Amino acid sequence: MKRIVIFASGSGTNAENIIKHFQGNGLAKVIQVLSNKKDAKVLEKAEKLGVSNSSFSRNDLHESNIIYNLMLDLKPDLIVLAGFLLKFPEDIISAFANKIINVHPALLPKYGGKGMYGANVHKAVVANNDKESGITIHYVNEHYDEGNIIFQANTKVDSIDTFEDVAAKIHLLEQKHFPLVIEQLLN
């Protein structure tokens, strides 16, 4: 069975969806959920679903080998960033080349880079009167949102849409496609 580790910083709706998708399907299992915020809702969701979970500090990720060594011990087949807001360290990227993916709430290369996450992206889409937005699932490299694109899905943005409306449309795309793309990568 393939092993998935999820990194998340927030509410964990994508992590929860991925965990549920793989429960009992025989292909893969989420073996660990990690968050850089000790009060992140994702940790509670993982706990309720019986998935090992813990938090860590920025220092644990960037200034020590704690998370690097944990990844080597866990031996994941895929590391999934699902709403994880810190830049991922190059030593882990090198050790797990083409085994780390991220979902971004826009059609990259538009609205990528440092600070472009969540509501910031959706507000930019609305402010620029874009006619569409979407999601991009991509490999993680040493630069924010610049790894090779694996998959994109788009949705129409209406002229009357608020950034909250756009966020809701993007969330639906993430829920529908993210687990399926992960499954395809692991097959």
The one catalytic residue in 21, 62, 104, 143 is 104
Distance in angstroms (rounded) separating the CA atoms of residues 103 and 175: 11
Distance in angstroms (rounded) separating the CA atoms of residues 7 and 93: 13
Distance in angstroms (rounded) separating the CA atoms of residues 44 and 69: 24
Type of residue numbered 24: G
What does 93-125 look like in DSSP terms, one character per residue? Answer: HHHTTT-EEEEESS-TTTT-STT--HHHHHHHH
Query: Is 122 known to be catalytic?
Result: no
Q: Residues of 80-90 as b/e, b for ≥16 C-beta within 10 angstroms?
A: bbbbbeeebbe
Q: With contact defined as beta carbons under 8 Å apart, do 70 and 78 qualify?
A: no
Q: With contact defined as beta carbons under 8 Å apart, do 95 and 65 qualify?
A: no
Distance in angstroms (rounded) separating the CA atoms of residues 47 and 52: 7
Q: Which residues are catalytic?
A: 104
